[in-house]
Amino acid sequence: MLAFGPIDGAAGIAGTVVSSIASFTAPLTGTAATAIAIILFTMGVRLLISPLTWAQIRGQRRTAALAPRLRELQDKHRKDPAALQAEMMKLYREEGASPLGGCLPALLQIPFFTVMYRLFTTPQIAGEHNALLDERFFGTPLDAHVTDGGLVLFGVLLTMLTVLAWWSSRRMALVQAATPVSPDAPPGQAQIMRLMRYLPYGTVLFACIVPLAAVLYLVTTTTWTAVERLVLGADRHLLTAAAPASAAGPGRG
């Protein structure tokens, strides 16, 4: 899968980084050195894109703060969807907000995850034996899948991902509640938005088909997201902005 030059080259670099971190931490982490190195590598990736994440959080705060004005526009242009859309976009531009601003940090992680997946699914990297496949975490090979054994370890990791998916789904519901939707939206849009709240659970399903190393990446990055948002108080404004929408009754989210 994805066996072409750029990915293999990036996997070779990532393998060198992970191996170096593992060698450095081995005196303290023992046989878990490579697994810990993957976790540290993931944290490094998240730290690298943190400025974008912080910008995303600021953008969400601005968007949530616009909720009352967006509802005013809905009432004013209830019978003119085109005018409503134009006024909403104008307001977003004037305030430097974007309803799609939260996508970029997640998209930027895709190349890193792809490289990590490649690193632990190919027997050779840069023409040499991939020694990382020989490493284990609590007795389970890092290239093992959930069907290969290690059910206790996979069970713990999948449980963590499920809890984090629930948290992410709840946060997504708050974002939707804090972002008014045109009452003249096409039929079925509300159902699609509700369905999107369950997308975080796709991470749990995905973890069931990727190697243990990739599962460690998923657990680490989703945990980082949760902790980062809690530390920055990123969701408090969503609770405040969502309250009026909830009080207004169903049909807005």
pLDDT digits (tens, 9 = 90+) for 161-217: 999 999 888 877 776 666 555 554 555 556 666 777 788 899 999 999 999 999 999
- Tell me the three state secondary structure of residue 125: strand
Looking at the DSSP bridge assignments, the partners of residue 125 are 128
- Annotate 26-43 with b (16+ C-beta within 10 A) or e (fewer): eeebeebbbbbbbbbbbe
- pTM exceeds 0.75: no
| DSSP, residue by residue, 164-184 | HHHHHHHHHHHHHHHS---TT
Token couple for 110: 């895709």
pLDDT digits (tens, 9 = 90+) for 44-70: 988 888 877 777 666 666 666 666 777
Query: In terms of residues, how long is the chain?
Result: 253
User: At residue 184, what is the residue type?
Assistant: D
Which candidate, 193, 213, 215, 196, places its Cα nearest to that of 204? 215
- Tell me the three state secondary structure of residue 141: strand
